[in-house]
Amino acid sequence: MKKKIVLLALLGAVIVLAPMVIFASSHPEVGSVAPQFTLPTQDGQPVSLSDFKGKWVVLYFYPKDMTSGCTQEAHNFQRDLAQYEKRNAVILGVSVDDVKSHKEFCVKESLGFRLLADTQHTVSEAYGTLSHMIFTHAARNTFLISPDGRIARVFDTVKPNEHSAEVLAAIDTLKH
pLDDT at 52: 97
Q: Are 46 and 83 in contact (CB under 8 A)?
A: no
Residue 15 lies in a domain: no
Q: Classify 18 as helix, strand or coil.
A: helix
Please give the Cα distance from 176 to 165 (Å, whole number): 17
Q: What's the pTM?
A: 0.83
Residue 5 lies in a domain: no
Helix (H) or strand (E) holding 149: none
Q: What confidence tens digit (pLDDT) does each residue in 123-153 have?
A: 999 999 987 665 678 788 999 999 999 999 9
pLDDT at 18: 40
Q: What confidence tens digit (pLDDT) does each residue in 50-70 have?
A: 999 999 999 999 999 898 888
Residue 62 lies in a domain: yes
Residue 119 lies in a domain: yes
Secondary structure letter of residue 161 according to DSSP: T
Query: Could you tell me the CATH number of the domain that includes residue 125?
Result: 3.40.30.10
Q: What confidence tens digit (pLDDT) does each residue in 6-38 have?
A: 444 444 434 333 443 344 458 899 999 999 999
Of all residues in the chain, the percent with pLDDT exceeding 70 is 84
Total of domains in the chain: 1
Q: Classify 80 as helix, strand or coil.
A: coil
Q: How many CB atoms lie within 10 A of CB 125?
A: 15
Q: Are 153 and 144 in contact (CB under 8 A)?
A: yes
> What's the chain's average pLDDT?
86
Domain of residue 72, residue span: 27-175
Distances (CA, A) of 53 to 38, 89, 165: 14, 11, 23
Residue 2 lies in a domain: no
pLDDT at 22: 40
pLDDT at 124: 94
Catalytic residues: 70
Residue 22 lies in a domain: no
Residue 1 lies in a domain: no
| pLDDT reading at 90 higher than 70 | yes
Residue 18 lies in a domain: no
